Chains A and B, each alone.
Chain A
């Protein structure tokens, strides 16, 4: 068992404290929004996870370009960590959006541009992760994944622009009892939103970095297996070693 570095414990503690503060603010401190009632509180989750999902895509794009430039595995790890965390946050964004839309707009799903964009991106990054699951590990997988991740990121602004045009062309979806009530975002509501965005960003960074660390350990295990699979060969060139050691060594090849 490897001891967790102190800095990570501090980071974890900070994340937990910030999340606790955020939850307290959302459910106890911030007054109930007058027009929408308690359901408006879901917005304090919806906005931060939407924000972090977007950050994740930028991170995937950045890491993918860096990988194609340098071919250094650390960028690939960063891209996967960002994509996996991003898919989860995008999923949360969709769920919180639907939970909010049902009572407020009267429908689970609308053609709202940000929701549509996130849904499409969710599919793109699910495909990205599925590709990684299908493909045997190695340089080729890292490279092709970087291409896929980059294509998805390039698509993001186009999708968003298209979704906005679509929303304008099909404005009818919003029919709920509270559909025309605006919620203001000043005072305690605004402060709570800002704190929530910060807290979720820290949470995202923590989860992604944990995933990055795990990935690195997976790679190290693979590197060890590779070293083991080389043993019979070394045995041959270092002369008279018998076949017993060579026969038992490469069992790890099955993955």
Chain B
């Protein structure tokens, strides 16, 4: 167990090191998400009540679209140097490779959210920096990175992978997006845990089911 965790961490740390050097992924997620949010501030005339109505939806749509971009990049990077083959040559079980890649993607999305949320709060003038929303964001990031990692390994084999990944990823994570939007809505309208407990359960169920399913199915994806 300890050895398995060490391997997962070695894999994730490798991605973090590469990201520190290239800054490809987190920067792409942040800039893209902020662009989406900014465009919406022009598309909708923001009164305080309207901000609270549409803000959570804009925020999570932006994070989902930007996140899929970053995950795509993290796999394209492995495909370009054929290092995915290098990983497959190692005697590490495919589940651990999945958890390593997912952990790295989870960290990328979470770090990006740390930048996105305060800017969103400023632009939409609604209070999202609360413990409730942080928990929601973590749950959403777990689901995004698990599903995204599994589908990125699928779409990396396709020539038009930039198109394929969002087509696979976005409809699959809609329940998670629903849960995040609805919970955030409750929070910005002054509610707390009890107001969105059903959505919280949905998000947790989604995460548990898809972390397990993606990890199990990943071995079939990596074969050639």
Quick check: do A and B touch in the complex, using CB within 8 A?
A: yes
Q: How far is the CA of A152 from the CA of B174 in the complex (A)?
A: 12
**B114 interface residue, CB < 8 Å from A?**
no
Task: Give the contacting residue for A147; candidates B160, B178, B179, B217; CB below 8 A.
Answer: B217
Select which of A68, A134, A147, A158 is within 8 A of B159 by beta carbon: A134
Instruction: Point out the residue from B164, B170, B209 that lies within 8 Å of A158, measured CB to CB.
Output: B209
CB distance from A235 to the nearest CB of B (A): 29
Query: Which residue from B147, B151, B175 sits with its C-beta under 8 Å from A159?
Result: B175
Residue interface mask B183-224, A partner, CB < 8 A = 1: 000000000000000110010011001100110010011011
Residue A173 at the B interface, CB < 8 A?
no
The segment out of A40-48, A124-132, A181-189 that lies at the interface is A124-132
Instruction: Verify B171–A123 contact, CB threshold 8 A.
Output: yes
Whether B198 contacts A165 by the Cβ 8 Å rule is: yes
B203 nearest in chain A by CB position: A162
**Structural contact, A147 and B209, CB atoms closer than 8 A:** no
Cβ A155 vs Cβ B175 within 8 A: yes
In angstroms, how far is the closest chain A Cβ from the Cβ of B112?
Answer: 24
Specify the main secondary structure of chain A where it touches its partner.
helix
CB-based contact A130/B164 at 8 Å: yes
Residues on A with C-beta less than 8 A from B209 are: 154, 158
Tell me whether A135 is interfacial, beta carbon within 8 Å. yes
Which residues of chain B are near A127, meaning CB under 8 Å? 164, 167-168, 171
With an 8 A cutoff between CB atoms, is A146 at the interface? yes
Q: Specify which chain A residues have a CB less than 8 angstroms from the CB of B151 in the assembled complex.
A: 148, 151
Contact assessment for A120 and B171 in the assembled complex, using a CB-CB cutoff below 8 Å: yes
User: Complex Cα distance A120/B173, Å?
Assistant: 10
* Chain B residues in 8 Å Cβ range of A12: none
**Judging by beta carbons under 8 Å apart, are A134 and B164 in contact?**
yes
Any B CB within 8 A of the CB of A225: no
A166 cross-chain contacts in B, Cβ below 8 A: 178, 182
Report whether A135 and B167 are in contact in the complex, using a CB–CB cutoff of 8 Å: no
Q: Which residues of A contact B158 (CB under 8 A)?
A: 131, 134-135
Interface of B is mostly: helix
B167: chain A residues at CB < 8 Å are: 123, 126-127, 130-131
- A130 to B210: give the CA distance in the assembly, Å: 22
Among A120, A143, A150, A154, contact of B174 (Cβ-Cβ < 8 Å): A120
A143–B223 CB distance below 8 A: yes
B residues less than 8 Å from A155 (CB atoms): 172, 175
Task: With both chains docked as a complex, state the minimum distance between the C-beta of A11 and any C-beta of chain B, in angstroms.
Answer: 34
Proximity bits, A53-69, B CB within 8 Å = 1, else 0: 00000000000000010
User: Which of the residues A68, A147, A159, A169 comes within 8 Å of B154, measured between beta carbons?
Assistant: A147
Q: Does B128 contact A (CB under 8 A)?
A: no
Which of chain A's residues have a CB closer than 8 A to the CB of B198?
A: 165
B157 contacts the other chain (Cβ, under 8 Å)?
yes
In the bound complex, CA of A121 to CA of B174 (Å): 10
Interfacial chain A residues near B210, Cβ < 8 Å: 151, 154
Report B-chain residues with C-beta under 8 Å of the C-beta of A121.
171
- By the criterion CB–CB under 8 Å, are B154 and A158 in contact? no
Asked whether B175 lies within 8 Å of A162 as measured between CB atoms, the reply is yes
Tell me if A249 is interfacial: C-beta within 8 Å of chain B.
no
B157–A140 touching, CB < 8 Å? yes
Contacts of A151 in B (CB 8 A): 147, 150-151, 168, 172, 210, 213-214, 217
Q: Are A152 and B172 in contact (CB under 8 A)?
A: yes
Chain A residue numbers with a CB within 8 Å of B199 are 165
Contact with A along B139-155 (1 / 0, CB 8 A): 00000000100110011
| Complex contact A124–B220 (CB within 8 A) | no
Jot down 27 A-B pairs with beta carbons below 8 A, ordered by A: A68-B220, A120-B171, A120-B174, A121-B171, A123-B170, A123-B171, A127-B167, A127-B168, A130-B164, A130-B167, A131-B168, A134-B164, A140-B157, A143-B220, A144-B154, A147-B154, A148-B151, A151-B147, A151-B168, A151-B213, A159-B174, A159-B175, A162-B202, A165-B182, A165-B198, A166-B178, A169-B182
The 5 closest A-B pairs by CB, nearest first: A162-B175, A123-B171, A127-B167, A124-B171, A158-B175
Interface residues in chain A, defined as those with a beta carbon under 8 Å from any beta carbon in chain B: 68, 120-121, 123-124, 126-127, 130-131, 134-135, 140, 143-144, 146-148, 150-152, 154-155, 158-159, 161-163, 165-166, 169
Given contact pairs A140-B223, A162-B179, enumerate 10 new A-B contacts (beta carbons under 8 Å): A120-B174, A143-B220, A144-B221, A146-B220, A148-B168, A151-B147, A158-B205, A159-B174, A161-B175, A166-B182
